[in-house]
Structure 1
């Protein structure tokens, strides 16, 4: 694998087998702990089996085919994506089943979806309007496109807001020979508390019951971001749709690397600790490039390298030349610029050239900043390099 122009890589030969601190990498650099990733994947695979839900983890979190394959190998039902472009990447890398959690309206994307469906690709996408149904129904092909009616809630994102709207959309799907109504879907991630999420999952069930006369014998019912999957897994499975088999599909994806910020605070395992736990797998290593005044260090990373939409990076460790590791206590990121981080220093001693290990908050906006991410083992040796395709 040749990665000479990817940031952080200074040699064109494969770094696999080399130490992270062996002189062939530059800073900043985002890495992932391979053992932690494996444990997180195993934890959620066991959780979904235990609760009787299928899992289509959201692939847009990472856009890393290496991780998709690991999730599929652990038993994932499919991979979820948000755009047709992301679905194309999945198809290119051999993902057999994709749930596209949006409505498709672009004719070029729909032509591609129709052609790939005819070629055997198991693709599902959402509709929440008669316009969306009409756009999909206008395609040509030999196999019908598989669609899910999306249910929403007032003030939320997409999705039908009323039962009558859902019935109209589902009826239009059923009337088109180009389409197959495969089930219902929704997204609860923007809701404020477990009670609101439980009510929304019940709304999905009510919608499926109302559409039962239009649904196939095996019905996909899908929901589940990374904050409320415990509520979804509790209420979505079961024999609650007479005459039909319910296939509950959970779409949570951020678990694969977890984080040291937003998801550390919001993981469902905080509510149900007996069900398991997740660990932060991503580390952002950056170098102190200046200590211009007392109490301040400037680190060579910024908005181009680290997520900042759901919290700033969290200093976790310091490493000096030769491997010395003074305490990281008293360090706080206060501000990010494009390529610089302002680090408040309270009692810690930092010098130019020191490395700081940061945890990140919100992996969904970390991966997109890196085309190549080393996977390292517990001895800081590179075991693989993941490529991302945003």
Structure 2
């Protein structure tokens, strides 16, 4: 029986065998996080040597096992309590092992942003995918049609925001001889936002075009409120609410237009998912799907300040699972130290890394120590005084998980980043 994205239950997940086989990958020079002592060993065999953080070089990005587990469980419980589904954005991590953890915790599916990411997911057997984008590439649509026709259990939905995009999708799918229709969500945007129609009336026209296209099936509506605000001010929150009410109005306008099945209404990054539930959670005739992704790593920057579980009740806040590690390689001036991690290693688009502690030494949080800028391969640490001598290794808090994971193909997982001597308990493989 053909699957639809809104099918009830948590549904199919991911091929556990293919994820488990990642432990067989042989380590070598391709993985900058790992020392030569790991080369020639499989992931499994290297972990059996019980390496510690001190055995790894710098620059380095690590994950905290307990924080990861806490974040996955916390978000799953929050969504269950709110009565909404979660299809976490897989582009944050592009890590099948972390996708599996999210799916095992009850996630409805995995959201992705482009066709290469979808291909990674299909390579690992992900069975329910939401593409938060419009797919127009004829070759890509032909590949997708083949995937859908070959696997009746595969559920896929993408977006459209214009009648022209609908026409192009339909033409390409017809040319490919597609058997199963591709499910489509009409995307509503907003003034100054990203993609999406700018009015409900325009969105209704797009929906009508989808209904006329034999290769497509209208599955619901979607959008992204995070493109319309970037803070938790009263004005920013009000803008998000107005947009979400427009999305609800669009769903109401299209109510009953779907050929069959439960319609999908999807929104929700990691900054405003509480507002999504408040404004859309009452839609009893639709499956409301959140697409939050950054929560799994959280951070010590942007999301620490804006997360709903911080600015809301704060009862179950997420924990930062991501940390950078860098060594002081130069002290050319009394209040300037150069670290061996830069833009190629750590995110910087949503704020610079923050110095937290010297490994095996003093705490830097609360001192005057700060990172003032990043070059490609260096960080400028200022006002650390005598706390950061040449040779010292510093732990750095980072801001914005989405631009942290993509800089590393293999990320060590520590038992506890706060421990005196953290141990490596896992390695997370990413595919960007």
TM, length-normalised to structure 2: 0.85
- Contact in 2 for aligned 1:306/1:366 (Cα 8 Å): yes
Structure 1 residues 274 and 330: CA distance shift in structure 2, 3 A: closer
CA distance in 2, matches of 1:198, 1:81: 24
Q: Out of 14-23 and 130-139, give the one that drifted further.
A: 14-23
1:222 aligns with 266
Which residue does the alignment assign to 1:200?
Answer: 243
Number of residues of Structure 1 aligned to a counterpart in Structure 2: 381
In the TM superposition, what are the counterparts of 1:24-39 in structure 2 within 5 Å?
A: 25-39=56-70
Aligned to 1:111: 142
Aligned counterparts, 1:1-390, within 5 A: 1-5=25-29, 6-10=31-35, 11-12=38-39, 13=41, 14=43, 15-17=46-48, 18-23=50-55, 25-120=56-151, 121-138=154-171, 139=173, 140-192=177-229, 193-215=236-258, 216-239=260-283, 245-319=285-359, 324-328=360-364, 329-378=367-416, 380-390=422-432
- Give the Cα separation in 1 of the matches to 2:387 and 2:427: 33
Provide the C-alpha distance between the structure 2 equivalents of 1:38 and 1:346, rounded to a whole number of angstroms: 33
CA change 1:158–1:368 in 2 (3 A) is: same
Contact 1:186–1:222, Cα closer than 8 Å, also in 2: yes
CA-CA distance at 1:146 after TM superposition: 0.6
Residues 71 and 295, structure 2, Cα contact 8 Å, conserved in 1: yes
Structure 1, residues 129-183: CA drift from partner, whole Å, max 9, x if none?
Answer: 1121112212121111111000111111111112232122111111121111000
Matched residues in 2 for 1:294 and 1:168: separation? 65
Distance 1:175 1:293 in 2: 69
Q: Displacement, 1:79?
A: 0.6
Task: State the distance in 2 between where 1:239 and 1:364 align.
Answer: 30
How far is 1:54 from its partner? 0.2
Counterpart of 2:186 in 1: which secondary structure?
strand
Work out the CA distance in 2 between the residues paired with 1:58 and 1:275: 24
CA distance 1:56–1:275, change in 2 (3 Å): farther
Q: Distance in 2 between matches of 1:132 and 1:363?
A: 31
In the TM superposition, residue 21 of structure 1 has moved relative to its aligned partner by 3.3
Between Structure 1 and Structure 2, which shows a larger proportion of strand residues?
Answer: 1
**Cα RMSD (Å) of the superposition?**
1.4
Take 1:317 and 1:59, find their aligned partners in 2: how far apart are those partners? 30
SS of the residue aligned with 1:102?
A: coil
Secondary structure class of the residue paired with 2:226: coil
Work out the CA distance in 2 between the residues paired with 1:152 and 1:256: 26
| Structure 2 gaps, min length 5 | 1-24, 230-235
Instruction: Answer yes or no: is the 8 Å Cα contact 1:218–1:246 preserved in 2.
Output: yes
1:220, 1:247 within 8 Å by CA — same for their partners in 2?
yes
The answer to whether the Cα contact below 8 Å between 2:334 and 2:385 also exists between their aligned partners in 1 is no
- Give the conservation status (yes or no) of the 8 Å contact 1:331–1:348: no
CA distance in 2 between partners of 1:95 and 1:315 (Å): 38
